[in-house]
Amino acid sequence: MKTKFIAILFLIITGILYLPALADSPLTSTKFYKAYIDIPEVKKAEGARLTEEIFDFLIDPEKPLDHKVAVINAMGWDIDGTSNGQSFIVFIAKKLKKEPKELKLKDLDTEQLLCLGYILALDDYFTLASARKNGGELETTDAFTLSEIAKEQKPRNFTVQMIYSLIKAQKLMESDWPGIYKEVNKVVNSDLTRNMRDEVVVIIMDYIKGYEEYVKKQTVLSSAVVIKPLKEVDGIVPLYGMSFSPDNNRMITYSGNEKTLNIWNVKTNQILTTINSGDFTDCRIFSPDGTWIILSDFTPEVVIYSAKDYSQIKKLPFTERICNIAINPTNPEIAFACFDGTVKIYSTYTWKEIKSFRAHGGYVSTVNFSSDGRSLLTGSYDRSVKLWDIRNKYSLIYENKDFQDGTFAYFMPKDKEILVRDFSGAVKVLDSSNGKVLWENQITGTLHNVAVNPGGDLIAGASETGAIYFWNWKKNITPLIFRAHDDQVLDVKFSFDGKELYTCSMDKTWKVWSVRILEKRLGDISSQK
């Protein structure tokens, strides 16, 4: 459980996963029993385990079905699981004077099947498992199948269809988030006579509507153009990011869950070596002269490796985890963006701290030196971008707060502009002299990373939909959106000569695209407008 929590936290912090409104699930986040709290049986069932008294209420043919499912909803769930479904089977076996293992699906009517299916779904909402792995027919039938049988038996009953849609939505959590919204919304907008209170629909849709965004993202991907890459390479594991050596001949890719970094020969597509990290590595860069590699992971520690034989050179301990790293191109200095909101400057000669200062109220997501080494740019989870004067003891030049959660900022070529992205899907170009917005665009969904070509006019964005957004911001052209990967694209980089675009994804591949072809397709879109 701890490992799973750390993995999720890593994804949120790095921007790979951003789900503040969808923290739970269709089953655990739709507490519609509150619309029936005036019903004594519902109020009494709140947080309870299944008793014989509650069971008798659930199988009473005189009680309304919506009251019954409200009672089940009120009993709720437990992160460690419950066994109310098995209790239900024991009680009904007792009533029918049979052994639990003797019970068949035909022994239960539609409402009883639905109630048992809903109870089992809340017992173990991770797997929607049956009451028992081994046993009789009823005992080994899973929650989804039970609700599906009820759905087929009463296709015109709104309550039956609604509970089925919630259980199916839970099942879709693993593979089809757009389907979560579609499934429940289909019932809500059907012509079925509602035999549940209106407030139930409000409570359910208040949560489910959070998935509507994924329907829009699916639409974006389905309309994205198809372009053939120059090269596609099997990365073996899900690829969370990549970095290049100064000569552009080697590339580092890393995988969070696998805790490994592969160093590739870009020309031959061969792995030169693999470095095993102690945790989820999220910062990795080559030194400007290509002699060493610096890595940081989810622990408060930075490790330096030789870029020649990949042996470990040094470890730097920190009190806070490092979120981003930048090397000063003109001075032997390196900046560390820290989780506690500070920026720490170290000498790359002595590897000792030169300066530490509090930059933001939230964790520092990005840190960048200007090409002349005179300014430092920071972005933060506190929704701000700040520019600092290095020559004047890192005094603040200006601050721009016009962003959303998860703000990442980067100097563009020649340092005249700043590129900013945030978790809302906003992309902006700022005038670096005053922080004013020169250009902006809003996409559907989140960009996990952005890159600018050496000429400074082209921007590429890695999208969670699997598509790449490609802009010429100086011409303000509508973006080219092309289908790049079968899963989230987590990083994007231009080659140093600007002729190629590299992408990597959770689909375990990295690809190379012709920028010339992308520009041509972008121009085609412009001419059609």
How do residues 406-442 score in pLDDT, each as one tens digit?
899 999 999 999 999 998 889 999 999 999 999 999 9
3: confidence class by pLDDT, cuts 50, 70, 90: very low
Which residue range(s) make up the domain with 125? 22-214
Distance of alpha carbon 368 from its chain centroid, rounded? 25
* Cα-Cα end-to-end distance for the chain: 52
Give a yes or no: residue 185 inside a domain. yes
* Burial tier of 343 (Cβ tally within 10 Å: 0-12, 13-18, 19+): buried
Q: How far apart are alpha carbons 314 and 311 in whole angstroms?
A: 9
Phi and psi of 250, rounded to 5°? -125, 150
Name, in order, each residue with C-beta under 8 angstroms of 362's C-beta and a sequence gap of 6 or more. Answer: 341, 380, 381, 382, 383
Task: Work out the number of other CB atoms within 10 angstroms of the CB of residue 214.
Answer: 21
Number of domains present in the structure of the chain = 1
Share the mean pLDDT of the chain: 90
Q: How far apart are alpha carbons 306 and 289 in whole angstroms?
A: 12
Rounded-to-10 torsion of CA 12, 13, 15, 17? -10
Q: How far apart are alpha carbons 241 and 503 in whole angstroms?
A: 9
- CB distance 515 to 500 below 8 Å: yes
Give a yes or no: residue 72 inside a domain. yes
Would you say residue 380 has pLDDT above 60?
yes
Q: Out of 26-35, 94-103, 275-284, pick the least confident.
A: 275-284
Give a yes or no: residue 425 inside a domain. no
Q: How far apart are alpha carbons 257 and 144 in whole angstroms?
A: 30
Would you say residue 310 has pLDDT above 70?
yes
Identify which of 522, 438, 429 has the alpha carbon closest to the alpha carbon of residue 472.
522
Distance of alpha carbon 422 from its chain centroid, rounded? 14
Beta-sheet strands, E only, within 235-359: 241-244, 250-255, 260-265, 270-276, 283-286, 292-296, 301-306, 312-317, 322-327, 333-338, 342-347, 353-358
Would you say residue 5 has pLDDT above 90?
no
11: confidence class by pLDDT, cuts 50, 70, 90: very low
Joined together, the tokens standing for residue 474 give 């100086």
| Angle CA 90–93–94, to nearest 5 | 85
Would you say residue 405 has pLDDT above 90?
no
Would you say residue 463 has pLDDT above 80?
yes
Q: How far apart are alpha carbons 214 and 196 in whole angstroms?
A: 27
The C-alpha R_g of the chain, in whole angstroms, comes to: 28
Q: How far apart are alpha carbons 190 and 205 in whole angstroms?
A: 14
Mean pLDDT value of segment 239-249 = 92
Give a yes or no: residue 272 inside a domain. no
Beta strands 225-226 and 480-483, pairing class: parallel
Q: In DSSP terms, which residues pair with 387 in a beta bridge?
A: 377, 398
Instruction: Report which of residues 470 and 212 the model is more confident about.
Output: 470
- CB distance 305 to 324 below 8 Å: no
218: confidence class by pLDDT, cuts 50, 70, 90: confident
Q: How far apart are alpha carbons 6 and 9 in whole angstroms?
A: 5
- At position 219, the amino acid (one-letter code) is T
Give a yes or no: residue 267 inside a domain. no
Joined together, the tokens standing for residue 306 give 């030789």
Joined together, the tokens standing for residue 246 give 């100064």
- At position 300, the amino acid (one-letter code) is P
- Strands across the sheet with 437-442, in order? 408-411, 417-421, 426-431, 437-442
Would you say residue 80 has pLDDT above 90?
no
Give a yes or no: residue 271 inside a domain. no
For the stretch 14-28, what's the b/e string if a residue is b when 16 or more beta carbons lie within 10 angstroms of its beta carbon?
Answer: bbbbbeeebeebbbb
